[in-house]
Amino acid sequence: MTDDLISRLANDLKPVRPRALQRLLLGALLLSGIVAVVTMLMLLGMRPDMETATTTLVYWTKFGYTLALALLGLAATLVLARPDGRTRWPWLTAISLLGALLILAVIQLARADDMMPLIMGSSILRALTYIPLLSLPVLFGALLALRRLAPRNPALAGFAAGIMAGGTGAWVYAFACAETGMMFLALWYTLGIVMVGMIGTGLGRFLLRW
């Protein structure tokens, strides 16, 4: 009876396409990322000084830091989506990137006549509102994709998806943000991304259980 059942179950199996997991998550990221970009353009629009901003180190630091966190979140999500998934290097790399950013921020502050605008800026509430808002399409897309998989640790997989989504949302928001302080980036952008990670943790705990 047991052998017969196993045989019938095996006969029902269908071959999985190569890199199916990667295709599923990247497809969800692409589609939801487009939604985030359209939402940013509708609600905020591009910063008016974009042509000048793209010649500055601060702009490209903001661009690279947020994109790197999104990609590290994606890398962690791809591993943690599997039943045997465990990984540490994306988290260690993210912490290292934050450390490097803090060093750059301290150097910038040391050269500034007035440090407070570079730390507090003028749009903390705006950043902490729009980064999570623009991240939500990506987070929901990732969680829908993860529901078709079998993560070993649903909460941690949700956190990884949240960091991926938060990094993507922050990257999209950066095109509308005119802040020039690296400490602003290190503090408030990072906080916004971690907030989305915590939302992902909570949703993952309930939506990804199997």
pTM score: 0.88
Q: Which residues contact 108 (CB under 8 A, 6 or more apart)?
A: 58, 118, 181, 182, 183
Contact (CB, 8 A) for 105 and 188:
no
CA quadruple 91, 82, 37, 166: dihedral positive or negative? negative
pLDDT, position 9: 41
Contact (CB, 8 A) for 146 and 77:
yes
Q: In whole numbers, what is the pLDDT of the chain averaged over residues?
A: 88
Q: Which residues contact 197 (CB under 8 A, 6 or more apart)?
A: 73, 159, 160, 162, 163, 166
Determine the Cα–Cα distance for residues 23 and 161; give it in Å rounded to an integer: 15
Helices (H) and strands (E) in the chain, counts: 10, 0
pLDDT, position 28: 76
Specify the DSSP element, H or E, that contains 186: none
Top-confidence residue, 17 or 38: 38
147 has a pLDDT exceeding 80: yes
145 has a pLDDT exceeding 90: no
189 has a pLDDT exceeding 50: yes
Span 20-67, pLDDT tens digits: 667 777 877 888 889 999 999 999 999 999 999 999 999 999 999 999
Determine the Cα–Cα distance for residues 202 and 57; give it in Å rounded to an integer: 36
Contact (CB, 8 A) for 151 and 83:
yes
Q: What 8-state DSSP symbol labels residue 87?
A: -
Distance from chain centroid for Cα 181: 21
Q: Of 139, 142, 145, 141, whose CA–CA distance to 193 is shortest?
A: 139
